Amino acid sequence: MKTFEEKWTAWLDDELTGDELAEFEASLPDKAAAAAEKRDAHKLGAFLKEQLQGRAMGNEEFFHHQLRERIERDARAGVAEGKADSPRAWWPIGRLVWVGATSLAIFCVCTFFVMRERGPAEQSQYLSQILTARVDPVVSPNATISMFESKKDRVTVLWVDGLQSLPSEYATK
Amino acid sequence: MQRRSRLLLGLSFALIMGSALPARASQVVWSGLVIANNVAQPEAIPPELNRFEGTLKELFGYNQFRVIGQSRKTLVTGSEDWLASSKYFSLHVDSKGGTDAGYLLNLKLFQEKNLLLETEAKLSKASPLVIKGPLVGDGQLLLLLVVQ
């Protein structure tokens, strides 16, 4: 058993026939208003059918050609990028060798200069040295100077003999 | 890439230079005027002379070492001067510069205003310097310099 809405939709679409049509039209309270509504619905349907129809493409071949070109270009760029990325992620062997050789050369140069600078000082690295010593010959005419190193505690001694002796009061703080 | 290679080169150069150039820290030089003599009851040896007490006794033949004047100088640049003095003696020390091996010093011993002795010495960090001065009473004046 159809509802009123179903019968109304079928009537608008001209799908009711025979007794069913007569019975439905008889049940309408205002047949003129219903007929006007049916005309409006038909008009709206025709308008929508006309407007919603897909527009035909005038330059379909050209559009397809452009699209294919673009896809191929993108694909080529993607492959090239992939090739470029993988080997350049780290330095090539050649560059690593070059950098290693340069670093070694810098190290050798620095070592050479450092060793050359340290060379003469090597002797005095562990022991103190007396380079020069002198006493006033007028004050201490008989003074003699000698120097030696005691290896035991690595003590360097400047031994001065013949300086004028002084009284014990000179030992005060 | 170019930028990264420059950065790496710079870093390796800095590391090499950092290991090659020594870092010089400030050090303390103790300078002392010491009277050495023989007594029945010797005083304890000053702590600065502890590590070569045996050598001092052996070299000079005294059993007591008494400090009559001293100075403890912290060397920062290595080119500093200072004075260690007692009532009658003074030791003027002029450091002419420091190297890895130690310090180049000019030493002058004065008895009041008289210059008794002048010497140039390289004072090593691992080796004390002892100078035998004049006889004083029954003892001996010694000058000592130690890098601490």
Q: Residues A110, A147: one domain?
A: no
Residue B25's pLDDT is: 66
The number of folded domains in chain B is 1
Residue B148's pLDDT is: 85
Decide if B13 is inside a domain.
no
What is the band of A125 on the pLDDT scale with cuts at 50, 70, 90? low
> To the nearest whole angstrom, how far is the Cα of B33 from the nearest Cα of chain A?
9
Q: Residues A41, A72: one domain?
A: no
Decide if A94 is inside a domain.
yes
Residues of chain B with pLDDT under 70: 1-5, 7-25
Residue A51's pLDDT is: 82
Question: Smallest Cβ distance to B119: which of A99, A132, A139?
Answer: A132
The domain boundary, picked from A85, A115, A145, lies at A115
Q: Residues A10, A45: one domain?
A: yes
Decide if A121 is inside a domain.
no
Give yes or no for A106 touching B (CB within 8 A): yes
Residue A20 lies in domain: 4-51
What's the whole-number mean pLDDT along residues A48-75?
82
Q: Residues A75, A99: one domain?
A: yes
Q: What residues contact residue A125 under an 8 Å CB cut-off, 6+ apart? A: B100, B101, B124
Give yes or no for A142 touching B (CB within 8 A): no
Q: Residues A10, A46: one domain?
A: yes
Question: Smallest Cβ distance to B134: which of A107, A166, A169?
Answer: A166
The number of folded domains in chain A is 3
Decide if A110 is inside a domain.
yes
Give chain A positions within 8 Å (CB) of B51: 153
Residue B23's pLDDT is: 47
Q: Residues A105, A152: one domain?
A: no
ipTM for the complex? 0.82
Decide if A122 is inside a domain.
no
Share of chain A above pLDDT 90, in %: 28
Cβ–Cβ of B127/A139 closer than 8 Å?
Answer: no
Residue B69 lies in domain: 24-147
Decide if A17 is inside a domain.
yes
Residue B7's pLDDT is: 66
Decide if B18 is inside a domain.
no
Cβ–Cβ of B12/A106 closer than 8 Å?
Answer: yes
Decide if A154 is inside a domain.
yes
Decide if B79 is inside a domain.
yes
Decide if B83 is inside a domain.
yes
Among A27-36, A136-145, B15-24, B30-39, where is mean pLDDT lowest?
Answer: B15-24
* A111 → chain B, closest CA residue: B20
Does the pTM of the predicted model rise above 0.95?
no
Decide if A133 is inside a domain.
yes
Decide if B35 is inside a domain.
yes
**Is the confidence at residue A121, as pLDDT, over 50?**
no
**Is the confidence at residue A24, as pLDDT, over 90?**
no
Q: Residues A134, A171: one domain?
A: yes
Give yes or no for A89 touching B (CB within 8 A): no
Give chain B positions within 8 Å (CB) of A153: 51-52, 54-55, 128
Decide if B9 is inside a domain.
no
